[in-house]
Structures are given as C-alpha cells and as structure tokens.
Chains A and B, each alone.
Chain A
Amino acid sequence: MREKRDMETQSIVTRPSPPDAVDLRRRPGSGENRLAAIAAGAAVPADIHAGVFASPAVLDIENFNLWYGQKQALFDLTLPIPRGKVTALIGPSGCGKSTLLRSVNRLNDLIDSVRIEGDMRLNGDSIYGRSVDVIELRRRMGMVFQKSNPFPMSIFENVVYPLRIDGERNRNVLQEVCERSLRGAALWDEVRDRLGESALGLSGGQQQRLCIARAIAAEPEVLLMDEPCSALDPIATAKIEELIAALRGEYSILIVTHNMQQASRVSDDTAFMYLGRLIEYGPTVEIFTRPHLRETEDYITGRFG
C-alpha cells in the first residue's frame, strides 16, 4: 500500500509536461529566466529530489490550486510531506507559504472568497473530499501561528483546550496531558507553579511555547508551524528550535520560516516556493549544499528575495 502511494507520487512528478510548459530543468544557472517565466505566468514544473520519497508521507498534496477571489495564490502544488520529519517551507514573502499551511487544516474555509482545486491526503484520507468533517480533520492536526495567540484563560485551560472541546472532563487525564504537553514544549519548569494564572501574563517566548504545548496536547498527526519564531528573541528562538528538534520523530512537522539558518538547523526536508509555485523540494542538506537550481541557491544565499 505504502509502496504504491510512493509510486503514484513519483509518477505524478515525472509525468510529461504540458505542451506550453517551459522545461528549464536541465539548464541550471538560468535563474532569471525561470523566475521571469513564472512571473509571466508560465507553468514551470518543480524539481523534486528523490530523497524526499525515502520515507513514507504523512501528508500528500496533490495538484493543489487555490484562488483568493480572482487571484490565484497557489499553483498546481504537488508534494509529499514525510512522516516523522521536519519539513521547512521557504520562499520570499507573499509566495503562498502561509496559504499552503492554512490549506492543510482548511482554515482557509473561513475566508469567503477562497476557492480550491485538487486535494490533499492526511494518512490517505482526503482533506478536501465532499463528505469530510472539517472539525474532525482539524483535530488531527495542531497549528502554531506566527503571532502567539494564547486564549485569555489560565495556562492550564489553554493547554488542555483541545481536550476540553472533545468533552474530556476527567481531571486526572487533563492534568496528565497538561504536564506532558508542557514538558514537551519545554515550559513545564517555568510555569508549574502558576498553572492557574492567566496565560496572558507569560512572556512572548513563553506564550509561543504555550501555543506549541496546546498544539501538541491533542497528539496531532501533523504539526503546522507558521513562522513560530518570527516574533521572538534569539534565546527563545533557540529554545523553540530545540523543541522542534526534540519533537522530530514523534511528530510530523511542517514549518514555515524566513530564517535560512533555522531551516537548515531544524528541518530534514526543505521546499522552496516562489509566487505560489513549488520550485525545488529536497532533503535540507541537498537544498542547502548542492541545490539543483540556481534560483534556489540564489535565494538561500540571499542574492534575491
């Protein structure tokens, strides 16, 4: 079963390009041309390294297109997110990283003008299928946002929120989950004596870690993180990066970041996006040391962006 899925994914990537597509894959160094072509609206196939197919995928994105009203924000994205690994999404501002992330747990449904095509699969289950229960689906994922967003309640209630909404009332279970999640988010020692206090009294870094604790409390299949460190100082960032490293293996993590060092430090795989398209996707080591495409190299070395 797993084999077959991988085969399928492969086949999608290697399928013949549409007639009007410009195939620039075998011409590294022609970065400007490729980006200019994308800017001009041409469909350029992504360069996906074979390394990302090495482990089974937790999430498969299949020919995914998304429009905000008339404006298309994501173009024909096809990529697998490996299970138990950290996948980084990089790319210049406005290229659709957050949009992609929010599409995974269908938070985009809340925006009226959004229209999508294609599908995603979480462990084989369709996400955009007709009879999918969105609520059910979201419970299988955790999300950490760019700006920390604790609820105006106690620290304890914040952490156990996902259980509360499931109707869990057993105090022992709640306490156990709270401690485990806070330990997981490396926050336990700092807040163990003040679980009953308002979460708004925590520092920004602590709040962000609290949000991570909340996101992992329900033991999600995928953890979605949208620039979780962008508002934090280096020490807090380091803590969160440590945390991500510790969570690797246990959780599948999809993280958006603008920080190339961060991407190279924490992720196993890296996807580079540009103007709503996937440009290159491969194991982080490869992307950062020997990228196939000149544009990717230019971007990560900071020559444009």
Chain B
Amino acid sequence: MAGENRNAGNGFTGRRRLRKPKATVVVADRVARSVITLGGIGGIGAVSLVGLFLVYVAAPLFLPSRLDAERAVATGEPPAGVVHVAVDESATMAWAFHRDGSVLVRDLRDGRTIHRLRVPDGPSLTCWSFSLEGDRCALGYADGSVRLGTLGFATEYVDADDVRAAGREPAIGEAVPFRRGMVERTPEDQFRYREIVLALGEPLVLAAGTLVRIDQSRGPGGSLVAALDVEGRLHVGERRERRNLLTGELATQVRGGSLDLRAAGLLPAGGIAPSHLLLTGLGDNVMLAWPDGRLLRVDTTDPADPQPAGEVDLVPEAGRRLTAIAFQSGKASLVTGDDLGRVRVWFRVKDPEGDSRDGTALVLAHDLSGIPAVATAITPSVRTRMVAVGFADGTAALYHLTSERRLVTVDATGDGEPVEFLALAPRDDLLYAQTGGAARIWRIVAPHPEASWRALAGKIWYEGYGGPAWIWQSSAATDSFEPKYSLMPLVFGTLKATFYSLLFGLPLAWLAALYTSEFLAPGARSRVKPVIESMASLPSVVLGFLAALVFAPALERWVPESLTAVVTIPFAFLLGAHLWQLLPREIMLRRSRCRLGGMVLGLPAGLWLAFALGPTVERTLFAGDITAWLAGQVGEGTGGWMLLLLPLSAVAVVAANVQIVDGWLRNSSTGRTAREVALLDLLRFLLSSALAVALAWGGASLFAAMALDPRGGFLDTYVQRNALVVGMVMGFAIIPIIYTISEDALAAVPGHLRAASLGAGATPWQTALRVVVPTALSGLFSAMMIGLGRAVGETMIVLMAAGNTPIMEWNVFNGFRTLSANVAVEMPEAVQNSTHYRMLFLAALTLFVLTFLLNTVAEAVRTRFRRKSLQL
C-alpha cells in the first residue's frame, strides 16, 4: 500500500509525503497558539484596564460644575429691613435677621413664616455681625454695649411619637413644620428636628457712645469683639473664661483698649464712618473698609493697645466703589467685590521689609474678573474656598478663589433685578438667592471645585504664603485649612529620586557590566552575573529599612567623611593603577590576574583616606561644623564651591592632559624604559590631582570673593533622611536590572568585532570603549530607561528613607516625596470619592503614564538596537 501511494504521488519529486502529524500534535499546537494569544491579549487588556480604572476614578475631578434649579419660593412682600439671611442644611428653612432685631424663620417650600422671635428689649440695636458658620452673632447697641451670643439653627433628634402626636407624618426624606422649626424624616427613619436658637450673653460695655460697626471672632484664648463708635473710636475687647480647677467656678476676665481714629487722623475727610469692620479669625487685626476702597488695618495683637498697621486701596480706580466684602472661612482672606464686577482675594503675607507695625502686608492674591456688573452680595462657603457672588444684573456665580476659576453662573432673578441676598447651605450643596419677595434655590453640583489643570500643574497662591507656589498638602489640623493639591512637588520628588539614584546607580551598573563582559574571565563571569542579579531579589522594604535605620544615621554622623570619600575613592583607584604600572614589567604581566584583587583594595584605601582627611576637610572647608555650615549659619561659600567645582576641574585637567600633555609625553617617552614612563605617568597624575584641587580652590575662592554662596541650591540644610541616602540605596536597588540588561547588550556585541579590534592592536579598554560600547549603546540606553522606570515606580525605599516632605528643592541633603510614596502614605486616610481620593488616583495615573512612557521609549530603543545588531 505504501508503495502504491508513493508512486501515485503528484509532488514535483514524484513522491508524496506520507507522514501526517499526529492528531495530538495538531491539537497541542492549536491549544498552545490560542493560550498564547489569549495570554497576550489578556496581559494587554489587564494593563489597559488598570489604566482605564485610574482614569475612571480620576476623571470626575475635571467635570464642569453645575447648578440645577431646585425650586422658586415666594416669600411674600419685599423684606424690609432684612440685614442677613442664612439657610439650614437642607434648605428647607431660612432665617432672616431684621434691622429692628427680629428674626423670621420661613419654610422654604411655600414661603410661609414658621417662627418669629426678637432679641431682648433694651437700648436700640445699632450694629450686628454674624459668623460665617451661622452659629454666632455679635450685636452692638446705641448705649455702647455689645452682646455676644448664639444665633442659628440647632439640630436634635425627636421621638417619632411626639411628631405623630402633633399630627405630622412626613414621608422618608420629607420635612414638615413642627413646633418652632421643621422636622425631617431621615432615610434611617429618624426624626431630625431643627429650630432656631437665639441666646445672648450679658451686655458688655465697650464704649460710651453709640456703636456703628461690630465684629467678633473666637480666638485661641476666648472671644474677641471689635466695635466702632459714632465718635470714630475703635474699641477692642477680649473676653477670657477660665474655670478654676479647684472650685469649678467660671471666672470671666475682660480686657481691651481703644484707638481714636479721628484723633489719629485716620478718618477720611468729613469723618465718614467705614462701611465695614472685620476682625480676623486670630483677632490680631481689625480691618476697616470705606466705600471708596480704602482699607485701614489696625493691629490688635495686644487688645489693650490697638495700633494702626497700614492702609491698602482695594479699588484704586478713581470713582469706583467697593460694593461687597467678606472674610473667607478662617477669617484670614478677604473677598471683595466692586462695581467693576471684579471679585478679588486679599490676604496678609509676611513683609519684614515693610514698615507696617505687625510685619505683614495685605496683598492682592487673586483677581477674578469677567462679569460686567456691580457685585452686590458675597457669601463664602464654610468648608471650602468656594464663594457665591451675586451681581446687580441678576447674575449669581460660584467661584473657586484659590484656583481662580468661575465655576458656574446662573441668572438668579430672571428679571434683571439685582441679587440682594445669597446663602450657601452649610454642606455647599445648595445655593439660595433672594431678590425682593422672591427666592430661588439651586442644587450645586461641584464635587471638586478645587481641581483644575491649573491647580494641578500651575503655581497657586495659597493663603498665608508669600507668593504662588506648587504645594501638596492634603490635610491639616484646622477646619479652615484649605487642602493643596499640586502634583508638581510629587512629580518633582519622583524626578529627584530618579535623578539621584541614577546618578549613583547608573555608572556603577554600567561599569560593572562593562567589566564583567569585557574583562572578567568567562568562568568568573558566569558566577558574578547571577550574584549581581540576585541582588534584585532583595525586597525593597529591606533596603528601605536599612536605608532609614542604618544608612541614614551613619551618613549623618559622618557627613564630611562621606563627602571626602567621593573624592578619595576614585583617587585611590587611580593611584593604585599608577603604582601598578611601576611594577617591573615581567611581574606586571605575570601577575595580571591579581589585578582585580588590587583594584578591590582601592575601596578600603579610599575610605581610610576619607576618614583620615574628613575632620581636616570639615575644619578647613566647612568652618568645623558641616551641619551648621550647610544650614548657612557659619562659614563662607568657599568649601561648598570647592565641592561642586572639584569634579569640573578634574574633568578640565583630564581634558588638558589628553589635549596637551599626552602628545608631549608620548614624544618624550620614546627611548625611555617602561619604568621611567610609568614614573613619569605617576608624576603627571600626582601633579594633575594637585592641579585639579588647586583649580577648584581658586574657583571657589573667586566665587566666594564675588559673594556668591552655593548654599541654597544643591547644597542646603542637612536633613537626616535625604536624597543622598535614597540615591545611594535606590541606586543599589536599580543596579541589578541595569546591570543585567547592559551586560546582555555588551555580550551581544559580535565577538568578531572584538577580535578585529584586538587584532588591530587595541587594548581591551580601547576595544571596550571604542568598539563594544558604541555598538551596544542603544542597549545600554534601554537599560538606563528600564532602570529609570524602576526608580520612578519604586515606593518602599523612598517611603522609608526620603522623609516624605513634599518640597521642591534640588538640595541633596533634603528629603522629598514621590508620587508612589504619596499614594502609599495617603490612600488609607483618603475618604472614598473625595477630591483627595481622586487626586491620589490622579497621582497614580501620572505615575502609570510616566512609567508607561519610559518603558515604551526603552522598548522602542531596544527594538532598534536589536535590528542594528542583527545587521552586524
């Protein structure tokens, strides 16, 4: 049968292949192919899913804000004499304070009055102020007395039976009038009752005459009140309450002082009273603003002795008027609105050069223009730096001040009437705007008002800072704290970590790879390589632990020695090499195998030298105390310049040697013995070293004489956990991967190129540097990129050894915080779906993109390199 088939074949050989692959082979082949395909697609899919997930979580940060119309309420006839309006948490009720001291609480669904109350009778009420949080008030009277107290909504949970007994049966989520306020049935089926509370303290006599402006704050020690009387005298009072620990008695202590503005010539012509009086949250400044934009600051750090502390013109344009002013939450930043429609933020910054009494100056930090109408009402948010502003043309807008963005605008009145009152619900989720007898309510959809590309990447001027800056600070102790989310310090930290670890690790890894591939005997090579590669299996947490607890303290203890070692170790190696040349030629050639051992000796020799010279170096260059020197407390710049210039001068001296001395030496070495040449070489090396040091010293003295100081850039105050520590330890961590890939690239250089070079009489070093390295260059580069990728993503080491301070400084001796460490540190404390949480995801996304880019570049280079090496 087989014979028949063979003959019946129609192939060109006249034969047909008889053997067919077994079915199992075919099946195995198909299975393998589909598994591999699936695996590949799965891998790509998984990676892109991770990326997509990060995008999915981070993207809402950049969604535009919205105002959804909730409802309109008719509040009856125009509210005559209303001076302040506030709404409750769910905007079901609003209270309005009237000039005559009455408070009206309305149901915001139908506009009906629920409750009405009055401040106690007494002298006539002349001025008032209400806290932003909607809980405290200060009232000033015609007799010069003030009363501080509570005014606002209070919440309590009531029994369901009580509600039902009153004939009320609200559905879940619904609020109905009950007693003096409203009761709401929560989704948890509880009855939350909210009513207005007014409780005033005893009158406190501040002045002899009628008070016209008042404000109060709760400082660290007690309540502060500032009031202006009709005579132009500013009165400040501080009330401290101290409980006697033994008797339990409450002792109240009041002290204060006053400043006669009229007498001091601080009132404008005609004695016009300021339109606003504002007391800062810390009570250290009183700000008086006039309608023409003039603002007078009075320093009240000592309440007993108020003193003028400077003036600012808030509206410098002639004829223009200041139309609205308010403190932001925390009572440190002023928000002003003027008749040009500008909304501006002012706060105090340190101004040591200025002549103001308290060493600060009020500066314009943010300017948001764009709506061409008079700003009529400003209501800052209690929780964030958002502010609602109403305008005379009926527009209401939400701004985020620090990021200088107008989030959203609406036509608030519908008929071009000016916005009279604006209120934000305490949770920033509802906006209430009132004009005449009509009010409207919007639901605010602005979950991440502080996030914008500008805030992420650009410099932002935060309250209390001297100028715009990149800052990451996600949480702090106080409520009025504004989280600062700039990714720049983290990206910077990542780059800094990468830079310093590459600075340390890359040369070592490359040189090690070059040495093993080109100089080590193949036998030794096959043993050395796995050893270095096994370094990669060292968990980075162990490295981080060593770095933080062993290495960092050691480095801190021996700073001058470590710096000296940077110079002495290479010096020791080079000296050793020159001394080796002095050996008789025979011994040298015969003992060439001991060279490695000799080289290893260079390390302890260099270290010994460093420790021997360290104290001297510290004494001569760093005024005897390097830590103080780095902090800029002692000494001059010479030592630091020396440190920075030494590598440069060494390079210069080497270049000069190559350019000039080499040729001369070669010419004059003809006819001399090898020993003489070696001696000459040693002499040249010693002279060159001395020259390099002298050159560096000269340059350093020159710079120092020019009054330039290196401190403040790469060299600055020493912090124990710093970039140097991380650079060394993370450099150590990335050595294996760079080493492996570089070694492979070098070993992949075809042997015939090496043979050609050696055959032409090149030394192994020349062969390595002139032929092997250039040929493997792209491989070496791709090794670097992969090391870079590893350094960028490395978390544990930087987390433990970098100090995690998100500052932007190139200073080698200071810490930083990387993207990865930041995510690791803050993710546990971030509230899900908060801005902070999404910001961390954005940081992770940035990291993802960064590493992805690096790896793509590395891969592209590597493919190119592979193509090129195939050509050879």
Contact = CB atoms under 8 A, between A and B. Distances in A.
Nearest to B590: A130
Contact of A149 (B523, B662, B666, B750): B750
Interface stretch (A62-70, A140-148, A263-271): A140-148
Nearest to B750: A149
Contacts of A56: none
A130 B755 contact: no
A20 interface: no
B752 A152 contact: no
Given A142-B760, A167-B662, 18 more contacts: A105-B759, A107-B758, A112-B521, A130-B586, A130-B589, A130-B590, A135-B762, A138-B761, A142-B759, A145-B756, A149-B750, A149-B752, A150-B756, A151-B770, A152-B872, A161-B757, A200-B871, A218-B760
Contacts of A303: none
A85 interface: no
3 nearest A-B pairs in the assembled complex, by CB-CB distance: A139-B761, A143-B759, A138-B761
Most buried by B among A147, A162, A165, A167: A165
A163 B750 CA distance: 22
Contacts of A147: 752
A139 B868 CA distance: 29
A131 interface: yes
Given A131-B585, A131-B589, A200-B871, A215 B521 contact: no
A149 B755 contact: yes
Interface string A205-219: 000000100110010
B501 interface: no
B522 interface: yes
B530 interface: no
Contact of B755 (A145, A164, A166): A145
A161 B758 CA distance: 11
A161 B33 CA distance: 49
Contact of A162 (B521, B761, B774): B761
Contacts of A141: 759, 761
A145 B754 CA distance: 12
Contacts of B469: none
Contacts of A142: 759-760
Nearest to A145: B752
B678 to A, nearest CB: 13
Interface string A96-135: 0000000001010010100000000000000000111101
Contacts of A161: 757, 760, 762, 770
Interface string B505-527: 00000000000000001110000
Given A131-B586, A169-B663, A138 B755 contact: no
A245 interface: no
A135 B756 CA distance: 13
B186 interface: no
A153 interface: yes
A110 B663 CA distance: 30
A139 B757 CA distance: 10
Interface string A233-266: 0000000000000000000000000000000000
A141 B762 CA distance: 12
Interface string B568-607: 0000000000000000011001100000000000000000
B666 A151 contact: no
A136 B663 CA distance: 18
Nearest to A146: B752
Contacts of B770: 151, 161, 164-165
A165 B765 CA distance: 10
A167 B761 CA distance: 12
B753 interface: yes
Nearest to A138: B761
Contacts of A164: 770
Interface string B846-872: 000000000000000000000010011
B760 A167 contact: no
A138 B759 contact: yes
A153 to B, nearest CB: 7
Contacts of B871: 200
Given A138-B761, A218-B761, A112 B522 contact: yes
A131 B592 CA distance: 12
Given A200-B872, A218-B760, A112 B662 contact: no
Contacts of A165: 757, 760-763, 766, 770
A151 B757 contact: yes
Q: How large, as a class, is the contact surface on chain A?
A: 35 or more
A135 to B, nearest CB: 5
A211 B775 CA distance: 17
B657 to A, nearest CB: 12
B754 to A, nearest CB: 8
B747 to A, nearest CB: 14
Contacts of B589: 130-133
A215 B760 contact: yes
Contacts of B757: 151, 161, 165
B363 interface: no
A218 B760 CA distance: 8
A233 to B, nearest CB: 20
Interface string B759-784: 11111001000110011000000000
Contacts of B868: 152
A131 B871 CA distance: 39
Interface string B353-394: 000000000000000000000000000000000000000000
A138 B750 CA distance: 20
A167 B771 CA distance: 15
B211 to A, nearest CB: 90
Contacts of A200: 871-872
B136 to A, nearest CB: 80
B756 A138 contact: no
Interface string B783-813: 0000000000000000000000000000000
A162 B767 CA distance: 11
B159 to A, nearest CB: 90
B866 to A, nearest CB: 14
Nearest to A211: B756
A222 to B, nearest CB: 12
A200 B869 CA distance: 11
A145 B760 CA distance: 12
A107 B586 CA distance: 20
A112 B753 CA distance: 19
A138 B589 CA distance: 16
A105 B662 CA distance: 28
A98 to B, nearest CB: 11
19 contacts: A105-B759, A110-B754, A130-B590, A133-B585, A133-B589, A135-B762, A138-B759, A138-B760, A143-B759, A149-B755, A149-B756, A151-B756, A151-B770, A152-B868, A161-B770, A162-B760, A166-B761, A167-B662, A215-B759
Given A112-B523, A130-B590, A200-B872, A149 B761 contact: no
A245 to B, nearest CB: 23
Contacts of B775: 151-152
A9 B222 CA distance: 115
A149 B749 CA distance: 12
Given A152-B872, A162-B761, A107 B585 contact: no
Nearest to B587: A131
B669 to A, nearest CB: 11
A211 B750 CA distance: 16
A166 B763 CA distance: 10
A149 B662 CA distance: 30
Contacts of A130: 586, 589-590
A142 to B, nearest CB: 7
Most buried by A among B586, B759, B868, B871: B759
Interface string B100-113: 00000000000000
Most buried by A among B522, B754, B755, B868: B755
B674 to A, nearest CB: 9
A110 B758 contact: yes
A135 B760 contact: no
Contacts of A152: 753, 774-775, 868, 872
